[in-house]
Amino acid sequence: MKKLNSGLQFILLGIIFAIFWSSASVAAKIGIQSMEPLVLFQFRFFLAGILLLTYHAVFEKWQWPNREEIIALSVFGFLNVTLYLTLFVLAINEVAAGIGSLSVSIGPVLMAIIGGLILGKKIEPRQIFGLLFGFGGVFIAVWPLLQNSFATFRGLAYLFLGMLSYSLAAVYFAEKKWNLSRFAINGWQVLFGGIFMLPLTLYLKKEPILFSIENILSILWLTIPVSLLAVNLWLKLIKIDAIKAAFFLFLCPIFGFIFSSFILNEPFTWHTMMGLLLVLIGLYLGQERKTQQ
């Protein structure tokens, strides 16, 4: 019973993570209407870092990272924040928000490849079929949007490279031994990631910073539900099992397309439904291993 409850808890946390993580594309799309993308995310990173480290100082026993941990946090922050979000921001101007969420689905494929080829992790046949179904669903859902100019190949290339960086970061975190709490790790990595991105933000900044209700709410949503809640859930999930956790990324398009359809009036077609059905099959196959152990 304890094992069953543990499995159900893992799935529930994964679903909650997918809901909030998939909302980032819509929130970003709204925010960048009145603020430059990198500036918007810069505020998000610094605010998230300050809040997370404040929580760590007040509710946990404060612990400064040592030299080795600073290096690890810097690498993790650069891959997980600086490189991934910079590429995501470049892409979001050229693709629909729904595709931005859908791109997250290639994460399981990339993480499985990284884990299998580089780290020698075993991937079961059911998981391989799950990856194929998930990736096929992504392709089917994206293709008509490409035909209707809701995405460019350059934008999709940015998304792919961004997800490669994100997947490398996830595997790096899962394999690394950490002595810091998740709140401390998340706080330092997002703060370092924001610092690394600051020179690029300042270099590319062209317009004066003007705040509006839309971009303030966007920053707050990206900071609290996404950076604080979703990222902490993600760190917990990938520390338990990075490969199985990655399959929850297949759920992000489902919620992402729902959000973008209702909030941004982006298209939701039969291609989308067919793609999402394959994504659900891929998720089922990827998680089925849990019940057989």
Which pLDDT tens digit goes with each residue over 70-126? Answer: 999 999 999 998 998 888 777 767 776 556 556 666 676 677 777 666 666 666 777
User: Residue 24: which H helix or E strand, with range?
Assistant: helix 2-31
Please, which pLDDT band fits residue 149 given cuts at 50, 70 and 90?
low
**For the chain, what is the mean pLDDT?**
80
- In angstroms, rounded to a whole number, what is the distance separating the alpha carbons of residues 21 and 103? 12
Is the predicted pLDDT of residue 43 greater than 70, yes or no? yes
Q: Give the pLDDT confidence of 176-234 residue by residue, as tens digits.
A: 888 899 899 999 999 999 999 999 899 888 888 889 998 899 999 999 999 889 988 98
Is the predicted pLDDT of residue 242 greater than 80, yes or no? no
pLDDT of residue 117: 61
Tell the residue number behind the tokens 């430059």, with chain if given. Answer: 36
**Bridge partners for 151 per DSSP:** 95
pLDDT of residue 283: 66
Comparing 7 with 8, the larger pLDDT belongs to 8
Percent with pLDDT over 90 in the chain? 24
pLDDT of residue 47: 94
User: Taking residues 33-57, what's their average pLDDT?
Assistant: 91
SS3 content of the chain, % helix, strand, coil (to 5): 85, 0, 15
Please, which pLDDT band fits residue 277 given cuts at 50, 70 and 90?
confident
Model-level pTM greater than 0.75? yes
Encode 239-251: b = buried (16+ Cβ within 10 Å), e = exposed.
Answer: eeebbbbbbbbbb
User: Taking residues 281-288, what's their average pLDDT?
Assistant: 66
Is the predicted pLDDT of residue 239 greater than 80, yes or no? yes
Is the predicted pLDDT of residue 291 greater than 50, yes or no? no
Comparing 110 with 60, the larger pLDDT belongs to 60
